[in-house]
Amino acid sequence: MTNKLSDEEHQASLEKNFPFIEQNAALPGRWVSDPLSPIPGRKTWHGQKHWSTRHGDAVVRWGLGEPCRIDFALYPDQTRGVVQKNGYGRWRRLAKNARNWVHGTIQINAADVVFRDGEQPIYTPPEITSVPNLEAELAHDSWFLEALQDDDFADSTYEVLKRFHLYRGGLPGWRPTSGGSAARLVADLRGLGECFSDWHPWGGSRDEAHLRSVLAHLARIGWEAKEDQE
């Protein structure tokens, strides 16, 4: 993925945007009823949106009253690291010395935050039928799946899926999306415990060499790409 902050820049951003409060202090923000809303019972957030609390070695980052990231959480092997929510609200950590995410649960108490490995997401691809289905064909193509492990290739695949209509034998099998569906497909096919929010909306590469590589893989298995003109 491109344009990522350095570790130092990211930490400085966290400290600026998630100021610390005491564990038992009054919350600096809360949900309140919106008297101006035409929808009965609708609420709006009032006050500070983000803050942090310390729990022994661990630091909990809060967003709109909910924990959204843990720094220095205690892992099952007694080491510590970052735990964060994905786009579906599930907690996960990066596997040690690996690229894949491990999903699980957290327990926050006064002295620490513990992460426990749990049930991992399972992707079941659609079957290949006589009806053109890009997802089904890519999910069963070992060459494409291997290429997709490269982050640059994956980033360009996301870009292609956002920009191109794809046809097989003159029949449509994929149309450009706003990005969420494309990101979900890339995440599912990579099989690394990612989700759509790892790519959408910030992903996408316009590097011509990488885009040509993705289009060449698609052409190899019989898919024609036509860029969306809208």
All residues at 6 or more sequence positions from 11 whose CB lies less than 8 Å from its CB, including other chains: none
CA distance 215 to 224: 8
pLDDT at 103: 97
CA distance 3 to 124: 32
pLDDT at 4: 52
Lowest mean pLDDT among 24-28, 38-42, 90-94, 184-188: 38-42
pLDDT at 18: 93
Give tens-digit pLDDT for 214-228.
999 999 999 999 986
**pLDDT grade for 5, boundaries at 50, 70 and 90:** low
Give tens-digit pLDDT for 66-110.
999 999 999 999 999 999 999 899 999 999 878 899 999 999 999
CA distance 92 to 200: 18
Give tens-digit pLDDT for 179-222.
899 999 999 999 999 999 998 988 888 889 999 999 999 999 99
DSSP 133: -
CA distance 163 to 228: 6
Q: Is 183 helix (H, G, I), strand (E, B) or coil?
A: helix
